[in-house]
Amino acid sequence: MTYDVFSLTCPTRQVISALSDKWVTLVLAALAEGPQRFSQLARRVEGVSQKMLTQTLRSLERDGFVSRTVTPSVPVRVDYELTELGTELRGIVLQLRAFAESRMDRIREAREDYDAAVA
Amino acid sequence: MTYDVFSLTCPTRQVISALSDKWVTLVLAALAEGPQRFSQLARRVEGVSQKMLTQTLRSLERDGFVSRTVTPSVPVRVDYELTELGTELRGIVLQLRAFAESRMDRIREAREDYDAAVA
C-alpha cells in the first residue's frame, strides 16, 4: 500500500494529526534529552497538567513512539523513554525547537509588519 | 533575550502551537513542492475547507512563513509561496511527511499491540 498525507482518507492523516499537537511536540522534545520519570516530565514541560501529560504519554505509547517502564519499588517508579521508532522523530522535534528559539525575533517582526499593514 | 520552549511564558510557545496544527503542516508540505495558487492548494490538501485554508494561510503569512502575491488579472490571481524564513521549515515538514508515510505500518502494529494489551 502507498500512503499519501494529501489524501483525505489516508491513515497517515491520523499520524500528522497526532504529531501536530503542542504537548506532543514538547513532551517529545523533553524525552529527546533522555529517559525521564513522569514527575520530571511534568516539571520540564512547564504548564502541562497531570491529565494532559498522562493523555499525551498514552497516545505516544500507543503509537509506539514512547515506552513506559514500571519499577515495582515503593513508591512505584515509572520511566518514559523514546523507542527506536520514536527516536526517528527526535531530529524533527529538535529542529522545530531550534527553529522556534532561534527565529522568534524574526517572527515577531513579521507579525508587527503584518499587523501594521492590515490595521 | 534567551528563548526556551519549555518555559510556560516564553513567546516561542506560540510558535510551537502555531506549527503544531494539522492544516499548517499539510499546507507547508504542499508549498514545499513549489508556489501555488489558492485553488491548487485547496485541491492538493484534500479535505481542507476554504475557510480553514484562508485562516491557515493568513496565520502563515502573519508569522512570515508564506508570502502572498496578487496579480491584478481578470479574475485576480493569488499565488502563495514559502518565504526565506518559511523555507527553513521545509526540511522539518518533509521529514514529518516522510516519517508518517514510511512508518505507517509500524505505527499500525504498535497500536494493535497496545489495544490488545489493554483490552
pLDDT at A34 over 80: yes
Cβ neighbours of B44 in A, within 8 Å: 6
Shortest CA distance from A26: residue in chain B: B6
Q: Flag whether residue A44 sits within 8 Å of chain B, measured between CB atoms.
A: yes
pLDDT at B119: 78
CA torsion B43-B49-B50-B53 (nearest 10°) is -80
What average pLDDT does range B98-116 have in this prediction?
A: 96
Asked if B8 and A101 come within 8 Å (Cβ–Cβ), the reply is no
pLDDT at A86: 97
- Site of grid cell 494539522: B22
Cβ neighbours of A88 in B, within 8 Å: 99, 103
pLDDT in tens, B19-34: 999 999 999 999 999 9
Q: Flag whether residue A43 sits within 8 Å of chain B, measured between CB atoms.
A: no
Distances (CA, A) of A25 to A53, A66, A72, B78: 12, 13, 29, 33
Cβ neighbours of B45 in A, within 8 Å: 6
Instruction: Give the confidence band of A118 by pLDDT, cuts at 50, 70, 90.
Output: confident
